[in-house]
Amino acid sequence: MEDLRDAERRLQTAQLAGDVEALDRLLDDRLIFTFGANVQTKADDLEVHRTRAQVVTRVAEEELTVLADGRTGVTWFLGTIEGTVSGAPFAARMRYTRTWLHDETHGWRIIAVHASTTD
């Protein structure tokens, strides 16, 4: 079974590259992403990358904690994300909690994400 830490690294690489095909493979079709009061689906997430409405230019990881138990895993990421949203630059120190599921066909895929800004 692929290491969950490697899957998290592939996610970061795909985000930086705007690689929609890789993101499609890493995100479960049932994905729910919450950030504040906003809720997005896999289709929503892929669309912002496909249209380049959101472009990630830097991921600076400060901390990554990984827990895997059988076919379920959780990653806790803390770091700075930079890029643009609708052409406007942003930089934010973020905390992401991602829940992953593993199957033999797809490997590790994200089914749930919660994101929040930190001080």
Smallest CA-to-CA distance from 113 within 104, 91, 101, 105 is with 101
Mean pLDDT of the chain: 96
What is the average pLDDT across 79-106?
Answer: 97
Q: What percent of the chain has pLDDT over 90?
A: 97
What is the average pLDDT across 49-53?
Answer: 96
CA–CA separation, 44 and 33 (whole Å)? 9
Residue 1 pLDDT exceeds 90: no
CATH domain 4-117 topology: Nuclear Transport Factor 2; Chain: A, (3.10.450)
pLDDT for res 2: 66
Residue 52 pLDDT exceeds 60: yes
Q: Quickly state the pLDDT bin for 119 (edges 50, 70, 90).
A: confident
Where does residue 49 rank: exposed (0-12), middle (13-18), buried (19+ CB within 10 A)? Answer: buried
pLDDT for res 116: 98
Per 3-state DSSP, what percentage of the chain is helix, strand, and coil (rounded to 5)?
25, 60, 15
CA–CA separation, 18 and 74 (whole Å)? 23
pLDDT in tens, 14-47: 999 999 999 999 999 999 999 999 999 999 999 9
Distance from the first to the final alpha carbon of the chain: 36
How open is the CA angle 22-112-46, to the nearest 5 degrees? Answer: 35
